Amino acid sequence: MAKVTLVFAVLLVALGLIGYIGTGSQYVTALIPAWFGLALGVFGLLSISPSEGRRKLFAHINVTIGLVGFIGGAVEAIRGYLSAKAKGLVPDQIALASKVTMAGLLLVYVILCVRSFIAARAARKA
């Protein structure tokens, strides 16, 4: 699961940098996906360990980061869209796409983590 985590970390960092550059480097908040990616990357690297306890700890930290990022990204995407529509404005397409993409990536990541946890538990019982 550590390698999958590192792939998602790279994707999130790329998303943050693309969003930041896409907004003309005006909005530092466009880098939020990159910060989540950086956190996943650091803990993903730490989870590459021969110690089972250490792997479990960092895997659980990573899935928590992923879940928080998914919820935050989804809530902010919905809030930003509804807020713009309520004011009669067109939502910022770059920001909306970045938030939805972040939420989507992290949802897939969390689902993969949960499936991995279930498979690991089943393998231990067998």
Domain residue spans in the chain? 2-125
How many CB atoms within 10 Å of residue 54?
13
d(C-alpha 119, C-alpha 101), whole Å: 27
Per-residue pLDDT of the chain (126 residues; tens, 9 = 90+): 889 999 999 999 999 999 898 888 888 889 999 999 999 999 999 999 888 889 999 999 999 999 999 999 999 999 999 999 999 999 888 889 999 999 999 999 999 999 999 998 888 887
Q: What is the pLDDT of residue 43?
A: 95
CB atoms within 10 A of CB 20: 21
pLDDT given at position 81: 94
Predicted pLDDT at 86: 94
Distance set, CA 69 to CA 25, 52, 74, 123, 125 (Å): 22, 26, 8, 29, 31
Q: For position 74, what pLDDT does the model report?
A: 96
The predicted pLDDT at position 27 comes to 84
